[in-house]
Amino acid sequence: MAKYRKLDRTSSQRKALIRNQVTALLNHGKIVTTESKAKEIRKVAEGLIAMAVKEKDNFEEVTVKAKVARKDKDGKRVKEVVDGKKVTVYDEVEKKIKKDMPSRLHARREMLKVLYPVKEVPAAQAGRKKNTKEVDLVAKMFDEIAPKYVGRNGGYTRIVKIGQRKGDAAMEVLLELV
Residue range 149-175: average pLDDT?
95
- pLDDT tens per residue, range 36-93: 999 999 999 999 999 999 999 999 999 999 999 999 888 889 998 888 899 998 999 9
Q: State the pLDDT confidence band at 126, using cuts at 50, 70 and 90.
A: low
Residue range 147-172: average pLDDT?
95
pLDDT for 1 equals 59
Q: State the pLDDT confidence band at 132, using cuts at 50, 70 and 90.
A: confident
Q: What is the DSSP string of the chain?
A: --SS--TTS-HHHHHHHHHHHHHHHHHHSEEEEEHHHHHHHHHHHHHHHHHHHHHTT-EEEEEEEEEEE-B-TTSPBPEEEETTEEEE-EEEEEEEEEEE-HHHHHHHHHHHHHPPPEEE--GGGTT-STT-EEE-HHHHIIIIIHHHTTT--S--EEEEEEEE-TTT-PEEEEEEE-
Question: pTM for this one?
Answer: 0.84
- pLDDT tens per residue, range 6-44: 999 999 999 999 999 999 999 999 999 999 999 999 999
- pLDDT tens per residue, range 94-124: 999 999 999 999 999 999 999 999 998 877 7
